[in-house]
Structure 1
Amino acid sequence: MNAKMYGDEQAVRKQKGSNKASRQRTVFLIVAIAPSLLGYLLFTLYPNLMSVYYSLLNWDGLTDAKFVGFDNYVSMVKDKFVWRALYHNLLYMIVVPALIVFISLLLAYLLNNKSYKENSIYKVIFFFTNVLSTVVVALLWSFIYDGSFGLLNGMLELFGMSMNDFYWLGDTRTAIWALVIPMVWGGVGLYVVIFINAISSIPKSLYEAAYLEGARPMSILFRITIPLIRGVIRVCVVFVILGSIKGFEIIMILTNGGPEGSTDVIGLYMFNLAFGKEYHNYGYASAIGMFLFVILVGAKLIIDKFYPEENVEY
């Protein structure tokens, strides 16, 4: 009996200890997760839900709001400026990510597989563009594109091409393409560093075996490097595409959608509708924001469909 009572007492103590550990774990998880969860609810979920509500109103932010139902969405479908901005978004979504990923991957491959003495300096130089703020990058390229004393026109004149004070950002034929260069220039540095770290994790023995078999550098890049870092490339593609859809800071500073709306994008059009100097309509701007949200979700689903996530084992 004593042995049985002792065993029951041990089981009770063990159960109490387990319950105490479980409570401590629960308290720890609540304390650890609560700040992040509260921040998400307060600064992400709540504003998004309010945007859905605002999209059903006719409201300028000052006067009394008027409920208009889905009228803002009907107006958006009929708004030709929305579809023009969407076309520019799609153009940037195709061109900018392709250039950023290709250039970043090529530079990372060269820096990782070529024993240049200046490799460490090159890494700092490439990443330097990401240290600069978007405003600084935009102002820098505004001076480069300036028609009177811009660096680009000066370099072209050195090669015998007289531009006659041509302003690259002031012409509808060149403005949209001129914006691609600062977008790519400002985004390459970060992804060079990411790809360098990804490539450096590939076992050197794979490259050595390929070189012994007589493989050329470009064959190694496309048959070994790219397949083995496919997952990293996929993540970078997602970030660049989604960033190119919703980003508009450089465009706002350099052209503000001009000339004649030739560089306008969805995000900038929405911003000007809500906070512009002449027109304030938070309801209509919120409806366009919901449209932008649908585009972002659709882009992510398309990427998942045609570029599925794969696990790679060395």
Structure 2
Amino acid sequence: MKKAKMQKRLFVLLAVTPAFGGYLLFTLYPNLLSAYYSLLDWNGISKPDFVGLDNFVKLFQDRYVWRALSHNLFYMLTIPPLVIGISLLLAYLLHNKGYKGTPLFKVLFFFPNVLSTVVVALLWAFVYDGSFGLLNSLLRLLGVPIGDFYWLGDMRTAIWAIIPPYVWAGVGFYIIIFINAMATIPKSLYESAILEGAGHMKRMFMITIPLIMPIVRISALFLVLGSLKGFEQQLILTNGGPAGSTDVIGLYMFNLAFGAEFHNYGYASAIGMFLFVILVGAKLLTDKLIPNRQIEY
């Protein structure tokens, strides 16, 4: 009996060690190292100087940090609701309408998730191109005198132009997630609602969404955190321009650490610590706004 317990513990230890070791090596250790770097004035090459909390004082006085963070908040308030709303609607239609081509639609909607972020950004850069872009060509077909307007080169439109690539790339994944969640709902609930005269909208908001709310909540959390820390598409599409109108805090931090002009690892690490606090706060706020209420049937 004692030997069996020892073998079980050894098996659990061997099974957990690779994952836990990877977490320590690639997550915990870099984060602790970043916390240490945030206390230094260091360009990554020369001897570092310990400056204590000076980087954090500089951070709170840096207007570019707050400008970038305001853009993050803008994307946080627009991208997650759009992705969740469109995904829920399309998932409900595909699951409850019983279209013959539902498997094909699933593949088509999921296709952007197969592409890398770089490919998605380059595709949308072509869409927004002023001379040969698909968007301007479509507007010209509709009779709109758009000329050679560069959507990513104008401060009024660039910040809005970042949203469609994120939505297009994210909707397909959450459609699949929501369809699988909806498949667990008993059909008898819908049948009873139909007998009582409930339409599609009422069934969706009174049955479907409440019963899959834990899945919606987790999806919203991932999207909120992603909109706060993501910067890859901004980097490829605009690199924060024009005139910083699409800069986000992750991109600002990246350019400080690895950009040609700065190489300030210490200050970039301080911004990373600040972003970590923001992400924790966003998680707690999401938990408060979307409580985890399990509804049983």
Q: TM-score, normalised by structure 1?
A: 0.94
2:18 and 2:138 map into 1 onto residues whose CA distance is 53
Q: Which residue of the partner structure matches residue 84 of structure 2?
A: 101
1:48 and 1:310 map into 2 onto residues whose CA distance is 33
Q: Does 1:30 align with 2:49?
A: no
State which of 180, 183, 186 in structure 2 corresponds to 1:203: 186
Q: Which residue of the partner structure matches residue 244 of structure 2?
A: 261
The correspondence of residues 1-314 of structure 1 with structure 2, limited to 5 A, is 18-314=1-297
Write the deviation string for residues 148-196 of structure 1: whole angstroms up to 9, x where unpaired: 1111001101111111200000000000001101110011010000000
Structure 1's consecutive aligned runs of 4 or more residues displaced over 6 angstroms after TM superposition are none
Q: CA RMSD in A?
A: 0.7
Write the deviation string for residues 237-279 of structure 1: whole angstroms up to 9, x where unpaired: 0111111111110110000000000000000000000000111
Secondary structure of 1:279 counterpart: coil
Secondary structure of 1:259 counterpart: coil
Give, as a single letter, the amino acid of the residue that structure 1 aligns with 2:270. Answer: A
Q: Which residue of the partner structure matches residue 10 of structure 1?
A: none
Write the deviation string for residues 80-129 of structure 1: whole angstroms up to 9, x where unpaired: 00000000000001100000000000000000011211111101000001
Query: What is the Cα deviation at residue 306 of structure 1?
Result: 2.0
Give, as a single letter, the amino acid of the residue that structure 1 aligns with 2:130. Answer: G
Q: TM-score, normalised by structure 2?
A: 0.99
1:196 and 1:306 map into 2 onto residues whose CA distance is 24
Give, as a single letter, the amino acid of the residue that structure 1 aligns with 2:72. Answer: N
Give, as a single letter, the amino acid of the residue that structure 2 aligns with 1:45. Answer: L
Structure 1 unmatched ranges of 5 or more: 1-17
Secondary structure of 2:156 counterpart: coil
Write the deviation string for residues 273-296 of structure 1: whole angstroms up to 9, x where unpaired: 000011100000000000100000
Q: How many residues align?
A: 297
Give, as a single letter, the amino acid of the residue that structure 2 aligns with 1:67. Answer: F
Which structure: larger Rg?
A: 1
2:26 and 2:230 map into 1 onto residues whose CA distance is 19
Query: What is the Cα deviation at residue 67 of structure 1?
Result: 0.3
Secondary structure of 1:250 counterpart: helix
Identity %: 65
